[in-house]
Structure 1
Amino acid sequence: MKTLIWQGIAFQSLEYFNLKKNGKASVVTSKIIGCYENNMYTVEYRLIIDPDWNIQEFTIESEINTVKNILTGKKYQDEWKINNIINPDFKDFSFIDISLTPFTNTLPINNLKLAENDTQKIKVIYIDVLSNIVKPVTQQYTRIAPYTYHYDNLQTDFKSDIVVDENGLVVNYPKLFDKIAEI
C-alpha cells in the first residue's frame, strides 16, 4: 500500500492518495480539494488497474462551485463504456488522464517500461474535470533518465519533464504538482 499527498501548484490543490493491491488488480482511491480560476472544487476518484497498469474501470465524483457530477468508465475488451454508453472514440485505449492529478501519468510510465531514450505515443481518454470534458488525445512519453520522463501532449504542444520515484509515482511535475508527504 502507498499513501501520499500531492500539492497542485497551478490548480491550488491538495490530493490525499491511496494505492493498494487487491488480488491481481490495484485499486486507487483519492480525494482532491482546491480552488482554480474562481472554481472551488472537490474530486474523489476510484480506479481499478490491471497488473500491467492498464486502467479497467474508473469513477470520478466532483463538485465544482456546489455543482455535482459523476463520471464512470468501464473497459469491455477493447471498448469503453462511459456513463453507461459505449463510446467508439475510445476503442483500444488503455489509459486515462485526469486533469487534476499527476497519478494518471504513472499508468503509461509503468506500463510502457521504456528504456532510456525510448519514445512511445499513446492514445488517452483525457478527462478535464473542471470543464466537464472527456475527449481522446495523443500523448508521447520519452524516458530521458532513470527517473525522468519527457511528456508531450501532441494536441496542445504542452511539454514537461516529469520526475518519478522507484514506483513510477510523480515526485515533481514542474509548475503543476509536487509530492509533499508519503507513508
Structure 2
Amino acid sequence: MPQDAKIVRWREWDGPGFEHLVLRGESGRFLADSVVICSGETPFAVRYRIACDAGWHARSVMVDMIGDGRTLVLASDGDGRWTRNGLPMPELTGVLDPDLTVTPFTNTLPIRRLALSTGQSAEITTGFIDFPALSVVPNPQRYTCLEEGRRYLYESRASDFRRELEIDRDGLVVDYPDFWRRG
C-alpha cells in the first residue's frame, strides 16, 4: 500500500447509494476514513473511521450516524479483546476484524491480514456491525483465495450467504455482486 492517500469510491449495485473512502498508510498503520450514503426504505448516512496496525489488525472503529447524533466507538488491543464505548465486550473475545454492513472495505482487513495463497482458506469470526441499528455481534465467516491478488470467495458460516469478490492489487474490493461496485 502506498504511503500516500488512496481514494476509492463504490456505488450500490442497484441504487443511488455510494461510498467515498480515503485510505492512508502512515507510521506503520493504516487509517480508513469514509462517508457512506445508503438508499433503501429508510435511507441514512454514516461516517466511519477504522485504524489498523501494520498487520491489518483493527485497533479502533468509530462510527457517526449523520443527522441523528448516534455514535459507536470500538477499541481493540489487536489480540481480540474489545471495548464498546469504553465497556468490555466479552462476546467479541478472539475477534480481530470488524465487519460493517454498509461497506465492502471491511473485507479488505481479513484479506490483507490473512495473506492467503490460491486455494487456501481461513475461518474467522468478525464483529458484525449492523446499520442503522449499530448492533455488534460475533459473525463466523470463511475466506477462500480463488486467485491470489484478484479473487476471493466470502462465505458466511452462519447462513448460506456467499459471494465471489474481485479485488485490486491493494486488496480493496472492485466488485461485490448484488451490493457494491467501484464507481
Aligned to 2:108, the other structure's residue is in SS state: helix
Counterpart residue number, 2:151: 148
Q: Which has the higher contact order (CA 8 A, sep 6+)?
A: 1
- Residue of structure 1 aligned with 2:171, choices 151, 168, 177: 168
Count of residue pairs the alignment pairs up: 177
Q: Deviations over 1:117-159 (max 9, x none)?
A: 1110001000012233210010000011231101101112210
Q: Deviations over 1:64-95 (max 9, x none)?
A: xx533101111135410112110101112110
- Residue of structure 2 aligned with 1:19, choices 23, 29, 48: 23
1:72 aligns with 2:69: no
User: 1-side partners of 2:68 and 2:131: how far apart?
Assistant: 12
User: 2-side partners of 1:41 and 1:87: how far apart?
Assistant: 26
Give the alignment's TM-score, normalised by structure 1. 0.92
Deviates more, 1:130-139 or 1:48-57: 130-139
Counterpart code for 1:16 = H
The offset of 1:22, in angstroms, is 2.4
Counterpart residue number, 2:84: 82
Aligned CA distance change for structure 1 residues 22 and 108 (closer, same or farther; 3 Å): same
User: 1-side partners of 2:112 and 2:27: how far apart?
Assistant: 18
Counterpart residue number, 2:33: 29
- Residue of structure 1 aligned with 2:7, choices 3, 9, 24: 3
Cα contact 1:98–1:127 (8 A) shared by 2? yes
CA RMSD of superposed structures (Å): 1.4
Aligned to 1:7, the other structure's residue is in SS state: strand
Q: Deviations over 1:2-45 (max 9, x none)?
A: 101100225741101000022111111000112212x1211100
User: 2-side partners of 1:78 and 1:2: how far apart?
Assistant: 28
Aligned CA distance change for structure 1 residues 42 and 84 (closer, same or farther; 3 Å): same
Deviates more, 1:77-86 or 1:8-17: 8-17
Cα contact 1:9–1:175 (8 A) shared by 2? yes
User: 2-side partners of 1:33 and 1:69: how far apart?
Assistant: 16
Give the alignment's TM-score, normalised by structure 2. 0.92
Unaligned runs of 5+ in 2: none
Counterpart residue number, 2:182: 179
Aligned CA distance change for structure 1 residues 118 and 11 (closer, same or farther; 3 Å): farther
Counterpart code for 2:132 = L
Counterpart residue number, 2:43: 40
Identity of aligned residues (%): 27
Aligned to 2:55, the other structure's residue is in SS state: coil
Unaligned runs of 5+ in 1: none
- Residue of structure 1 aligned with 2:55, choices 43, 48, 52: 52
